[in-house]
Amino acid sequence: MELSVYFKSIIDSDTAPVVICSNDDEIVYMNPAAVKRYAKRGGEKLVGSSLCACHNEKSNRMIAMVKQWFSKSPDNNRMFTFHNQKENKDVYMIALRDSDGTLIGYYEKHEYRTSETVEPYDGL
């Protein structure tokens, strides 16, 4: 089985939204959590559109600056962008690279700080 099937399964099962963009800011993929989160903005219909259309001018400048930083070195792969107090999460931009280290795109990663409330292995 092709490894990409496993990677897609990992992204699709993540409860955090994942929006993957190409270098030219085209939304190329949204996992189910992202489709649900951005439903009021079009959800799945956002795939194929520009991420820039979803952000204000200041945010677009910041995205461009992070992409430029990603391009400076293959070691520049993760940038903290903000903390969302209401949802108690940190948000990052993550570089996507091909096998030779060339930047091919990026995605937004949400890391929630709220502790899990269910017991381990609950439901077994």
Ramachandran region, residue 98 (left: φ > 0; alpha: ψ -120 to 50; beta: rest): beta
pLDDT of residue 75: 96
The CB density around residue 76, as the number of other CB atoms within 10 Å, is: 14
Against a cut of 0.85, is the pTM above it? Answer: yes
**Distance in angstroms (rounded) separating the CA atoms of residues 71 and 75:** 9
List pLDDT tens digits, range 4-60.
999 999 999 999 999 999 999 999 999 999 999 999 999 999 999 999 998 999 999
CATH, range 16-112 = 3.30.450.20
Residue 124 has pLDDT above 90, yes or no: no
108 forms beta bridges with: 19, 93
Asked whether residue 122 carries a pLDDT value surpassing 90, the answer given is no
pLDDT (0 to 100) of residue 38: 95
Task: Give 52-86 pLDDT, tens digit per residue.
Answer: 998 999 999 999 999 999 999 999 999 999 999 99
Statement: residue 94 has pLDDT above 80: yes
22: nearest Cα among 49, 57, 58:
49
Closest alpha carbon to 77 in 96, 63, 61: 96
Domain definitions of the chain by residue range? 16-112
Whether the predicted pLDDT of 1 surpasses 80: no
